[in-house]
Structure 1
């Protein structure tokens, strides 16, 4: 395939075994982990966990990525579409409240075909960095019930410096508008689990509380009460290439988290704030191919 799925639109050749684009991934899906995950937002994790499937590779270049082993160093194993469908079934059999595709942007073609050929009995979550093309999202309409995008920056300079994508702000804003158009307001089942809707995440960066406030201002102004949920994340940990950027090579201060959380409360944004204890490396799951190989190791 000649790929233009993500906003990079690099037009790279992706064969079954090789990928020459910004994501570096082949056409076949490459996975690093597939397991129940209990550390998403409460209406997604529920009591049994979200059935998370971690795709390898990424078209962003975030210098602080906590999943760098798979997003930058490309650890993972290629699987067939049929094996991916079986993985979904295995997670549902384990009790997953939903199927949660993590970093799926460069595999939108796979996700779309999977859900077309193998409709799922639980809601499907699109868990992305927010750097998605509107046209790519439109091709998924009706297949994705829950969108879980990041909104990392509204400042082009910061986006270029820390993620290598100065067009991130306007691209993510357009993508989130499209996600909300598709799902409509958040809806829940009788157990309080999200069945449809958009949850917008923002990870507070050190020294960037003003950026967090700008993001929250935009969400509050753009979407009416009850339309979306907002997740203010304090799990930032110096990671990856952050040592090359001294201004973010530290943990968040308690005052930074408190100021952002108070601002969110004063705006009346519905959603979630993370506990400070989430800023630990052990909260990042091990990328060890759990759930990827089938019986006898078959892929």
Structure 2
């Protein structure tokens, strides 16, 4: 139980480690070495406090998260990636949102639970792990019981993820590319695929394959997203091969077809169109060939 003394003690210890890391920030693989505790800002443009763009019950997520009453999403402003095609660029890159205190973030979580949401869905949480842990310590003490979802772009540090062991119930990484070079070109993320593979292995070690309750709502486990890009720029087969051979063929994957050339995408001719039906179908067939569960 996340309200017992031993758990809260462990959470408090993890928070202290996260704050220490934030003082010379290495929370994510970028390792900007700024003092976030003194409100210094690195690549993610986030200092002492988290910035939230919006929150509320969300019905556009995977059905296994949405259920009847919605997924309790909290959209964090800014990001540790810089995807040139980001559909939420006003939030991730332009900084739309409001700074929140630890108590305010905890209150948001508790409000979402009171609204009947099936989980707390932390969207783009990587750069806000310390603030999230601090808020969770308050929220758990005040009765937060629903599962915690870590909804990430996949560019996560294994050391930081280890601080979330036993705290996060459901990991939902988006593996964007099966190639480091593409990750650098389109998301300004050095060694993206290498980093994401290590991160997803750690996530799966912690929570295992996806598990649902008798209502079909996720309670624990790994759910992977993969956005198909035009001209196979996401290197889909490499992503699927990794999941099938190094994670589990029981992995649930949501292969997404909603790519549109937004934000700066039209500056890249190879990204300047939507994904066609044949490209999406090929991605689905690759997943089926490798025995992966499709969501």
Instruction: Give TM-score scaled by structure 1 length.
Output: 0.87
Q: Which residue of 1 aligns with 2:13?
A: none
1:197 to 194, 201, 221: 221
Q: Which residue of 2 aligns with 1:261?
A: 284
Partner Cα distance (1:211, 1:224) in 2: 19
Higher relative CO (Cα under 8 Å, sequence separation at least 6) belongs to: 1
Structure 1 unmatched runs, 5+? 273-299
* Contact 2:34–2:40 (8 Å) recurs in 1: yes
| Structure having the larger proportion of residues in helix | 2
1:14 to 19, 36, 41: 36
* Contact 1:159–1:165 (8 Å) recurs in 2: yes
- Aligned-pair distance for 1:20? 2.2
Cα 1:209/1:59, change in 2 over 3 Å = closer
1:236 to 259, 268, 281: 259
Cα 1:210/1:103, change in 2 over 3 Å = closer
How many residues align structurally?
270
Q: Does 1:213 align with 2:234?
A: no
Partner Cα distance (2:159, 2:65) in 1: 26
Partner Cα distance (1:125, 1:247) in 2: 33
Q: Which residue of 1 aligns with 2:135?
A: 114
Q: Does 1:247 align with 2:273?
A: no
Structure 2 unmatched runs, 5+? 1-22
* Contact 2:227–2:234 (8 Å) recurs in 1: no
**Aligned Cα RMSD in Å?**
1.4
SS state at 2:287 partner: helix
Moved over 6 A (4+): none
2:200 to 176, 179, 182: 176
The Cα offsets for residues 47-105 of structure 1, whole Å up to 9 and x where unpaired, read as 21100000011111110111110110011101111111111111111110100000000
Q: Which residue of 2 aligns with 1:133?
A: 157
Q: Does 1:58 align with 2:79?
A: yes
Q: Does 1:164 align with 2:188?
A: yes
Q: Does 1:23 align with 2:47?
A: no
Partner Cα distance (1:225, 1:207) in 2: 26
